[in-house]
Chain A
Amino acid sequence: MFSSYNLSHLGELEAEAIYVIREVAAQFENPVLMFSGGKDSITICHLARKAFHPAKIPFSFLHVDTGHNFPETIGFRDQLVKEVGVHLIIASVQDTIDSGKVSEEKGPNASRNALQTTTLLEAIEENKFDAAIGGARRDEEKARAKERFFSHRDEFGQWDPKNQRAELWSIFNGRKNVGEHFRVFPLSNWTELDVWQYMLQEKLDMPSIYFSHKRKVFVRNGVFLADSEFITVKDNETLEEKTVRFRTIGDMTCTGAIESTACSIEEVIEEVASARSAERGGRMDDQRTEASMEDRKKEGYF
C-alpha cells in the first residue's frame, strides 16, 4: 500500500534522528556525544556523520570509562574515533574513586555501574557541556519509556520525571538557565530490532563480542557473566566455556552474555526477532529493584 512518497520505517526513524542531532548543534553552544563503543552509540555516530556531511561532526565524544570494559569494545572505540576524526574525552571512574568522591562497592556483586553517574556529571560540569547526546532508547526499559527527546536536567544533573516539559510535534525547546543541561536521545523511537536492521542496511561495523564466540563464563542470578580480572567467582560458581554473544555492552561486571551461534548481522536479527527475553534482561544493574533505572536516572545516570 505504499504511495510513491512514503518512507520505510528505517527511513522515517533515520530522518527523525538526524533532525534531532542537527537541532542539538543549532540550539546548544557546547554539546557532546556520549560514546561507549556499543551498537547504539555506533548508530548515533553514523547518524551524526550523515547529519553534517560533508562537514565534520561539530562536537566531541565523551566516554565514561569504568575501567571494567571489554577490551574488544575499547579497541573498536579508538579505531572508530580515529576514522571519524573527532576528539574523544575519556572520563574515568577510577579517577573519581581515587579523588575520594565515591567509594568502590564491595563484595562479589560489586559494580562500578552506579558510580558512573558522578563521573559523568563531573565531566559535564568541568567541560561546561550544555547538552549530552546519548543512545538510550525508550524500548529498553520502562523508566526510559517516559523520556522526552530533549530531557531537561537541573543544576544538579537531576531528572524530574513527574514534571517533564511538554514536547510537542517536532519543536524542541532547549532553553535553560546557566548550569543546567539537556540530555538528548535521537534514538528514542528505535527498537533493538530497528538498530540491527539499520546496521545491516548501512553496513556498519561493530565490536566482535556482539557475535558468537567461545568464552569462559559462570552463572550468577540466572545470567552468564564473563570471567575477568574485575569479578570474583564465588566458591559455588563454576567456570565453563560456552558459545555466547552479548546483546548489550556495558561494564564487564554486570553485562550478561546469552548462548548464541549468531555470527552475522542477519543471524542476529533473526535471533532478536524471535527472542523471548528482553534486551536488558541480562543487565544485573537493572535488576537490583523494580525502580533501579528510574532512581539512577533521577540522579543523572545516562
Chain B
Amino acid sequence: MEETNGINSKTYMDLEILRFTTVGSVDDGKSTLIGRLLFDSKSIFDDQYDAIKKSSEHNGDSTVNLALLTDGLRAEREQGITIDVAYRYFATPKRKFIIADTPGHIQYTRNMVTGASGARLAIILIDARKGVVEQTSRHSFIASLLKIPHMVVCINKMDLVDWDRDTYERIKKQFKSFASKLEISDLRFVPISALKGDNVVKRSKNMDWFDGPTLMYLLETIHIGSDLNHVDCRFPVQSVIRPQSAKYPDYRSYAGKVAGGVFKAGDEVMVLPSGFTSKISSIDGYDGEIKEAFAPMAVSIRLEDEIDISRGDMIVRVNNVPEISQDIELMICWLSEKPMNHNGKYGIKHTTKDARCIIRDIRYKVNVNNLHRIEDDKSVGLNDIARVSIRTTQPFFFDKYSRNRTTGSVILIDEGTNETVGAGMVI
C-alpha cells in the first residue's frame, strides 16, 4: 500500500464533514462497498487488513473479504449479516466522511432509521442480478421520508452481469419509475462492482459506456453547504448557565445548539412559550464573544432583559415564529415490537422539550412497496409507517420536517419500558 493519505498537520484542518448512510437488501454488498471505499482511499491500516486476510483464509474465501471490516459483533460475523448500525470514518484531502452502515434485514429496519436520521446522503445499493426488490423500495421510501437530501443509487455486482449496459439502464428506469412517487431532490446513478472496485474510487475499465462520475467523486463533491436551514431562527434552550461565582455574580446565559437561522448580538428575539421579547446582548463562547451563531453551533445566548426562561423553551425571531400547538400531525415510523396503542399515551421528546402525548387518530398506514394508503387496517406494528395525529400535554414549537429536520422531529417513548418506540416527522 502507498505511504500516505495526503493529510498533514498544516493542511486539512478545515474539512467539511459529509455524513452518509448505506442501505440495501441483505447480500447487496453494503459491507463490501464500505470495505472497498476504506481500502481504496487508504483508510485501512495494515494490521487491520492482515487480520481480515487471516479471517478470510480461515473461512475459506478465495479473496480478502472486505465486509469483515465492518461487521463488529460476534453474532454478525457468525451469521454474515449486519444487525446494528456500525459507524466508520475516513477522510480524503477533500472531505471527512462518517458512514452509518445500516442493516438490510427487515427486522432491523429500526436500526436503519437510526443510521439514516443523521445522514445527508444515502447510498442505495441494488444487486444488478435482482433489480429493485421490496427492501429497495422500503429503504428508498424511508430515506426520502427522512429527507436525506442526496441519494446515490449504486447498481452493484455489475461483474456478475458481464458489465451489461442494458441491465443497468433497465434497473435505472425501474428505480426512477418508483422514485417518481417519492420526494428526492437529488438523485444519481452509478454502475459499480464493490468486489472488484469498478467505479467506486477508480474508474471502471470494464464499463467504458458509462461516462458519469465515480461514487467517490460524488461523495467528495456533492454540494452539501445549503442542506441546513439558515433562514428560520430557532434556538431550543438546553440549560441555563448561572455560575453564581465571585467573578460572575449575576451572569445568566442560555445554552443550546442553534437549530436554524443566524443569531447575532442586537437581534430582537421572542421567547416561547411566554411570548416575551428582548434583545440578544451577546453570544458567548469559551474564548469570548461570537459574532454570528448558526446551525449546528453550540453556544450560549445572553439577553438584555431578565425573563423567566428554562430548558425546553425556544428563542426565535419576532417576525418568524414556528407553529405553536398541542395538536401535531406526524408521519411516524414504528420501532417497537409492541404495536402502537390507539388512544395510548406515550412520552414525547422534541428538541430539548419533554412532555407526554396521546395518539388521537391513526389516519392511514403506508404500503411501502407501492406507496398506497392503507385505510382499512390501522394496526401499527414494528417497522410500519403511518400518518397519525397526536395531542401533547403542553404546546410544542415546531416546523415542518421538510423545512427543518431538528425542529420537525420527535421521538415517542414507551413509559413502561423507557424504550424509544416511534420516530415522528412533522407534516
Contact = CB atoms under 8 A, between A and B. Distances in A.
Interface of A: 1-3, 5-16, 18-19, 22-23, 25-26, 49-56, 138-139, 142-146, 161-162, 164-171, 173, 175-177, 188-189, 191, 193-194, 197, 200-201, 265-267, 269-270, 273-278, 281, 290-291, 294
A273 B93 CA distance: 11
A55 B252 CA distance: 10
Given A55-B242, A275-B45, A19 B73 contact: no
Given A3-B225, A166-B420, A15 B118 contact: no
B72 A143 contact: yes
B74 interface: yes
Interface stretch (B9-17, B187-195, B198-206): B9-17
A259 B112 CA distance: 42
A88 B166 CA distance: 67
Contacts of A173: 349, 411, 413, 418, 420
A126 to B, nearest CB: 24
Contact of A2 (B85, B225, B349, B351): B225
Interface string B220-262: 0001011010100000001101111101100100011100001
Contacts of B75: 162
B408 to A, nearest CB: 10
A22 B48 CA distance: 35
A168 B75 CA distance: 24
Contacts of A3: 225-226
Interface in B31-72: 45-48, 55, 69-72
Nearest to B348: A171
Contact of A269 (B1, B8, B71): B8
Contact of A142 (B47, B72, B419): B72
Contacts of B45: 275-278, 281
Contact of B297 (A9, A15, A53, A177): A15
Given A51-B255, A291-B74, A12 B296 contact: yes
16 contacts: A5-B262, A5-B292, A5-B295, A19-B298, A25-B239, A51-B255, A55-B243, A55-B244, A138-B87, A145-B72, A162-B84, A166-B420, A169-B117, A171-B349, A273-B9, A291-B74
- How many of chain B's residues touch chain A, expressed as a range? 35 or more
Nearest to B69: A142
Contacts of A269: 8-9
A84 B91 CA distance: 34
Q: Which of B9, B13, B228, B296 has the most CB of A within 10 A?
A: B9
B294 A5 contact: yes
Given A145-B88, A161-B84, A173-B413, A14 B298 contact: yes
A163 B177 CA distance: 36
Given A2-B225, A23-B238, A51-B298, A143 B73 contact: yes
Contact of A49 (B89, B239, B286, B420): B286
Given A9-B96, A200-B9, A139 B89 contact: yes
B423 interface: yes
B255 A22 contact: yes
B86 interface: yes
Given A22-B255, A168-B411, A274 B238 contact: no
Contact of A166 (B113, B225, B226, B239): B113
A302 B85 CA distance: 20
Contacts of A6: 16, 225
Contacts of B89: 138-139, 189, 191
A143 B352 CA distance: 30
Interface of B: 1, 3-5, 7-10, 13-17, 45-48, 55, 69-75, 77, 83-89, 91, 96, 98, 110-111, 113-114, 117-118, 223, 225-226, 228, 230, 238-239, 241-245, 247-248, 251, 255-257, 262, 284-286, 292, 294-298, 300, 311, 335, 347, 349-352, 405-406, 409-411, 413, 418-420, 423
Given A146-B72, A167-B420, A168-B113, A274 B248 contact: no
Contact of A18 (B9, B17, B251, B298): B298
A258 B54 CA distance: 23
Contacts of A55: 241-245, 248
B241 A52 contact: yes
Contacts of B118: 169-170
A138 B418 CA distance: 25
Nearest to A16: B296
B5 to A, nearest CB: 7
B239 A169 contact: no
The 10 A-B pairs with the shortest beta carbon distances in the complex, nearest first, are A142-B72, A55-B243, A269-B9, A8-B14, A175-B418, A18-B298, A273-B7, A3-B225, A266-B9, A50-B286
A17 to B, nearest CB: 8
A168 to B, nearest CB: 4
B238 A22 contact: yes
B340 to A, nearest CB: 15
A276 B46 CA distance: 5
Nearest to B238: A22
A26 B238 contact: yes
Contacts of B238: 19, 22-23, 26
A95 B300 CA distance: 42
Nearest to B262: A5
Contacts of A175: 347, 413, 418
Nearest to A14: B298
B14 A171 contact: no
Contact of A171 (B69, B228, B409): B409
Given A1-B225, A55-B243, A145-B86, A170 B406 contact: yes
Contacts of A7: 296-297
Given A145-B87, A145-B88, 8 more contacts: A9-B17, A19-B257, A22-B255, A55-B242, A168-B423, A171-B349, A171-B350, A290-B55
Contacts of A194: 96
Contacts of B255: 22, 51-52
